[in-house]
Amino acid sequence: MSIRCVDLIKTYEGGKAGWPALRGVSFEIKAGEFVAVTGHSGCGKSTLLNIIGLLDEPTAGQYEFNGRNVLSMSDQERSGARLGEIGFVFQAFHLLNRLSALGNVCLPLMYAGADSAEMKERAAALLHKVGLKGKERKTPLELSGGERQRVAIARALANSPKLLLADEPTGNLDSVSSREIVDMLFGLNAEGITVVMVTHDKEISARARRNIRLRDGRLEE
């Protein structure tokens, strides 16, 4: 898994000239790295993560995802890459409250075409992996914030992604749960998963192998 961005520009519509979120950002991320994306609010961190995760497209510039030019990929190819190669973890969890923890983790497997028995076995194993054995039938509303984020991580791992993108995954958690979630992400990285994490936490960014720091849409370091 490799990422290469050259002179990425992202401009949102609004006003006469639009609003520039990214202004010529270039960097590479190699397979197996743990990279922290840092900077003040509004500097373009989440925009950059959305582009890396194929949820958004740059206005200009070049983005190569695992050697493929993203702008030349069809919608189907992009959807396939998101489903099979990338896992997403968000600050707000984005779980479905009407489903159990097991049901939430099953969703990506269902979209990938797994059969019912395979889905449930895989989802249960992942919930066990993230420390939620015995809570498979609990809904998100019955779980703590830290437990919800564990479900979200298990869901992100459902289709064995090579890249895990985390957007402020500890933003809604207490300090103890935050440390547990961060340790879990570093553990997954040690297993070979490339991790790119947006964070304001200086302790987390200090632990990362590398930092990409943005300032006003430009790469600072």
The pTM (predicted TM-score) of the whole model is 0.93
Residue 36 has pLDDT above 70, yes or no: yes
Asked whether residue 189 is domain-assigned, the answer is: yes
CATH code for position 147: 3.40.50.300
Give exposure, 166-198, as e/b (b: 16+ Cβ within 10 Å): bbbbbbbbeeebbebbbebbbebbeeebbbbbb
pLDDT (tens digit per residue) in 176-202:
999 999 999 999 999 999 999 999 888
Q: Which domain holds residue 40?
A: 33-59+79-219
Asked whether residue 106 is domain-assigned, the answer is: yes
Asked whether residue 66 is domain-assigned, the answer is: no
Asked whether residue 1 is domain-assigned, the answer is: no
Residue 83 has pLDDT above 80, yes or no: yes
Instruction: Provide the H-helix boundaries in the chain.
Output: 45-52, 75-85, 101-111, 116-129, 145-156, 175-190, 202-207
pLDDT (tens digit per residue) in 105-136:
999 999 999 999 999 999 999 999 999 999 99
pLDDT, the chain, mean:
93
Domain count, the chain: 1
